[in-house]
């Protein structure tokens, strides 16, 4: 069974993340969207809410699961029997950053864990969780960047 882990903070999940996930679906039997805990990082949305945003967005998709993990991403992959990491690339900045991590993960996993990169569609290349957070904190309208279920959940949370 081909299992991929799509790791990230997803603070919050955006339509850019959704595009990568949907396009990756035909490549794998299962994709585990995995939110890494980082106690040093300040998040806008608490973990439970970030998990809920993803779970609700993909409630119709049996191949997508959502969970959180602590520790090294490759250890989490090994625990659940995943041989692939999935990452999205928006720009050359993303590429330079991701290349090092992917090379490290491959080596440290004894060449077991491959990172599969999908290049985002041009319409999504300007979308990042960081910018969405800034818009939300400034009380702006970030709905155009959010999946419909997340829009609803944020509206009702207000
Ligand atoms: P991290 O905190 O690890 O950067 P993110 O939640 O920001 O995690 O992103 C998770 C993954 O989604 C990364 O591979 C990132 O490049 C990708 N990603 C984020 N935004 C987009 C986008 N607009 N289009 C394509 N991929 C994206």
Give the tens place of pLDDT for each residue, 102-143. Answer: 999 999 999 999 999 999 999 999 999 999 999 999 999 999
The model's confidence at residue 158, banded by pLDDT at 50, 70 and 90, is: low
Q: What domain range includes position 51? A: 3-155
pLDDT above 80 (res 1): yes
Helices assigned H by DSSP within 5-157: 15-24, 47-57, 73-80, 92-108, 129-137, 148-157
What is the CATH number for 11? 3.40.50.620
For the chain, how many structural domains are there in total? 1
Torsion over CA of 104, 109, 114 and 120, rounded to 10 degrees? -50
pLDDT above 70 (res 40): yes
CA-nearest residue, atom 4 of ligand 1:
8
What is the C-alpha separation between 24 and 50, in angstroms, rounded? Answer: 21
What is the C-alpha separation between 121 and 102, in angstroms, rounded? Answer: 21
Q: How far is the CA of 97 from the centre of ligand 1 (A)?
A: 12
Q: Please state, as a whole number, how many other Cβ atoms lie within 10 Å of the Cβ of residue 116.
A: 14
Is residue 31 a contact partner of residue 2, using CB atoms and an 8 Å limit? no
Predicted confidence at residue 38, as pLDDT, reads 83
pLDDT above 90 (res 157): no
Tens-digit pLDDT profile for residues 50-95: 999 999 999 999 999 999 999 999 999 999 999 999 999 999 999 9
pLDDT above 80 (res 48): yes
| Predicted structure pTM score | 0.95
Q: Which of 12, 14, 16 to mutate to test the pocket of ligand 1 (most atoms within 8 A of CB)?
A: 16
CA-nearest residue, atom 16 of ligand 1:
88
Predicted confidence at residue 57, as pLDDT, reads 98
Tens-digit pLDDT profile for residues 20-34: 999 999 999 999 999
Instruction: Indicate if 129 belongs to the active site.
Output: yes
């Amino acid at each position: 069974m081909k299992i991929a882990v799509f790791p990230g903070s997803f603070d919050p999940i955006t339509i850019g993340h959704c595009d990568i996930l949907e396009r990756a679906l035909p490549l794998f039997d299962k994709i585990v969207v995995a939110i890494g805990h980082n106690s040093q990082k300040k998040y806008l949305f608490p973990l439970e809410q970030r998990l809920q945003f993803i779970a609700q967005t993909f409630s119709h998709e049996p191949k997508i699961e959502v969970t959180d993990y602590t520790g090294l991403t490759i250890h989490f992959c090994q625990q659940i029997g995943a041989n692939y990491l999935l990452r999205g690339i928006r720009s050359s900045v993303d590429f330079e950053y991701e290349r090092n991590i992917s090379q490290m993960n491959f080596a440290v996993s004894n060449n077991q864990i491959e990172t599969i990169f999908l290049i985002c569609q041009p319409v999504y290349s300007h979308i990042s969780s960081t910018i969405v957070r800034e818009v939300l904190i400034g009380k702006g309208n970030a709905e155009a960047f959010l999946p419909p279920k997340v829009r609803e959940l944020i509206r009702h949370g207000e």
